[in-house]
A and B are shown apart, each in its own frame.
Chain A
Amino acid sequence: AQSVTQLDSQVPVFEEAPVELRCNYSSSVSVYLFWYVQYPNQGLQLLLKYLSGSTLVESINGFEAEFNKSQTSFHLRKPSVHISDTAEYFCAVSEGYSGGSNYKLTFGKGTLLTVNP
Chain B
Amino acid sequence: SQTIHQWPATLVQPVGSPLSLECTVEGTSNPNLYWYRQAAGRGLQLLFYSVGIGQISSEVPQNLSASRPQDRQFILSSKKLLLSDSGFYLCAYGTGYAYEQYFGPGTRLTVT
Q: A51 within 8 Å of B by Cβ?
A: yes
Binds A, one of B12-20, B62-70, B71-79, B99-107: B99-107
**What is the number of residues of chain A that contact chain B, defined by CB distance less than 8 Å?**
24
The answer to whether A103 touches B106 (Cβ under 8 A) is no
Contacts of A42 in B (CB 8 A): 105-106
User: A7-33, CB under 8 A of B: which get 1 and which 0?
Assistant: 001000000000000000000000010
The answer to whether B99 touches A43 (Cβ under 8 A) is no
A45–B103 Cα gap in the complex (Å)? Answer: 7
Contacts of B108 in A (CB 8 A): 41
Given A41-B106, A51-B99, 16 more A-B residue pairs with CB atoms under 8 Å apart are: A32-B100, A36-B103, A41-B88, A42-B106, A43-B103, A43-B105, A94-B100, A102-B32, A102-B51, A102-B96, A103-B94, A103-B96, A103-B98, A104-B46, A104-B49, A105-B46
What are 30 of the A-B contact pairs (CB < 8 Å)? A9-B41, A34-B99, A36-B103, A42-B106, A43-B6, A43-B103, A43-B104, A43-B105, A44-B44, A44-B90, A44-B103, A45-B103, A49-B99, A49-B100, A51-B99, A90-B44, A94-B100, A100-B51, A102-B94, A103-B32, A103-B96, A103-B101, A104-B46, A104-B49, A105-B100, A105-B101, A107-B43, A107-B44, A109-B43, A110-B43
